């Protein structure tokens, strides 16, 4: 009889969409980044050749779905396929920002459900597990037929608020869809909450109008909380109506700084005092401005990767409250 006691081996591999975050996660874990050997062919196809053996390893492939989103997603799928064919024991796709997550249902006829499609792509490539941060909709977890660890930036953002906002502030939802999240922040921080009502212009993308406020905001600093800032139309409209209703100041905190199109100009010229995001997405120097503060998400992702590797509970990192 032959007996063999194996040792678990963690390998962290990252794509090219956000190298700074990958290095920060590796530093937090105290492990080196393995070389995926990514090369672009002249026709823009991508080749991946790992520089070392991954046979039997617990492989974590980190790639945030940053713009261009299609390239980031395909590059991650290629690395996952290479790991599967290289005999990795388990493959976890770490997607700090989960691309196409806003299309999580059919709002109209003849529309795709791309949140499901991304899960199918990662599954077909060979992912055994997915880790992501602050999904646009929690139901996306059900699109993947395997473990899906949903991380929250809430502990990092709450710490920032406690250290900087003083005592007289109120948590605010920029629309009714984020009311539950704002309520949770308010409960943790022991403050009141308010919500802005808005309507979208029919058949227009990224066009919103704030129309009212529910809750007491007069004389208080309002901290708007959202999962992402894309074109910043929703956030800026919400800030204006809060200030028009007597708020003494408005901050915005969000997990994902997508910051596309007119976002930078809108935020620069807005009446908000602070805009706080995490670094789930890269924010190049040309998108940075005086009001913007970027917090590191690397410790959170690193702790989650360690928990998965050690077969420990990821939910305990959030007191069991990571199912929003």
**Cα 69 versus chain centre, distance:** 14
Question: What confidence score (pLDDT) does residue 1 get?
Answer: 74
Angle at 209 between CA 205 and CA 210, to 5 degrees: 140
From the list 322, 156, 285, 271, the residue with the least C-alpha distance to 225 is 156
Q: Which ranges in 190-272 belong to alpha helices (H)?
A: 233-244, 263-268
Token reading at 122: 């990662």
From the list 189, 182, 245, 187, the residue with the least C-alpha distance to 212 is 245
Question: What confidence score (pLDDT) does residue 204 get?
Answer: 56
Q: Which residues of 78-106 are buried (b: 16+ CB within 10 A; e: fewer)?
A: bbbbbbbebebebbbbbbbbbbbbbbbee
Looking at residue 303, the DSSP 8-state letter turns out to be H
Question: What confidence score (pLDDT) does residue 321 get?
Answer: 77
CA distances from 117 to 63, 102, 120, 267, 292 (A): 17, 12, 5, 32, 33
Q: Which residues of 9-18 are buried (b: 16+ CB within 10 A; e: fewer)?
A: ebbbbbbebb
Residue ranges of the chain with per-residue pLDDT less than 50: none
Question: What confidence score (pLDDT) does residue 7 get?
Answer: 82
**288, 290, 291, 297 alpha-carbon torsion, rounded to 10°:** 50
Strands 33-34 and 129-133: unpaired
Beta strands (DSSP E) in 201-311 are 208-214, 221-229, 249-257, 274-278, 292-295
Residues designated catalytic: 198
Under a CB-based contact definition with an 8 Å cutoff, are residues 87 and 56 in contact? yes
Sort 255 into a burial class: Cβ within 10 Å, 0-12 / 13-18 / 19+.
buried
Question: What confidence score (pLDDT) does residue 200 get?
Answer: 60
Neighbouring C-beta atoms of residue 323, cutoff 10 Å = 10
Domains of the chain: 10-153+299-318 (3.40.50.2020), 154-295 (3.40.50.2020)
Question: What confidence score (pLDDT) does residue 135 get?
Answer: 96
Question: What confidence score (pLDDT) does residue 175 get?
Answer: 87
From the list 260, 266, 263, the residue with the least C-alpha distance to 240 is 266
Under a CB-based contact definition with an 8 Å cutoff, are residues 229 and 289 in contact? no
């Amino acid at each position: 009889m032959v007996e063999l006691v194996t040792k678990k081996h963690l390998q962290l591999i990252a794509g090219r969409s956000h190298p700074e975050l990958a290095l920060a996660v590796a530093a937090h874990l105290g492990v080196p980044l393995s070389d995926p050997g990514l090369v672009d062919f002249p026709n823009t196809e991508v080749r991946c050749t790992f520089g070392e053996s991954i046979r039997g390893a617990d492989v974590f492939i980190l790639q945030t779905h940053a713009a261009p989103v299609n390239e980031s997603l395909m590059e991650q799928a290629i690395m996952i396929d290479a790991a599967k064919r290289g005999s990795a024991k388990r493959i976890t796709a770490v997607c700090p920002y989960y691309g196409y997550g806003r299309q999580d249902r059919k709002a109209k006829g003849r529309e795709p459900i791309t949140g499901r499609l991304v899960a199918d792509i990662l599954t077909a490539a060979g992912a055994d597990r997915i880790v992501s941060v602050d999904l646009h909709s929690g139901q996306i977890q059900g699109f993947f037929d395997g473990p899906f660890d949903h991380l929250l930036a809430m502990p990092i953002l709450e710490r920032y608020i406690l250290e900087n906002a003083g005592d007289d502030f109120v948590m605010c939802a920029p629309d009714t869809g984020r009311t539950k999240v704002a309520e949770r922040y308010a409960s943790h921080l022991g403050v009141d909450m308010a919500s802005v009502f808005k309507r979208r212009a029919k058949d227009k993308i990224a066009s919103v109008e704030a129309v009212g406020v529910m809750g007491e905001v007069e004389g208080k600093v309002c901290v708007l909380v959202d999962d992402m800032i894309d074109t910043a139309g929703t956030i800026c409209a919400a800030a204006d109506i809060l200030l028009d209703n007597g708020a003494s100041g408005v901050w915005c905190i969000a997990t994902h700084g997508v910051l596309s199109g007119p976002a930078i100009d809108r935020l620069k010229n807005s009446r908000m005092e602070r805009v706080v995001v995490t670094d789930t997405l890269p924010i190049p120097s040309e998108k940075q401005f005086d009001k913007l503060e970027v917090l590191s998400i690397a410790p959170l992702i690193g702790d989650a990767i360690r928990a998965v590797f050690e077969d420990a509970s990821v939910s305990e990192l959030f007191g069991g409250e990571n199912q929003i």
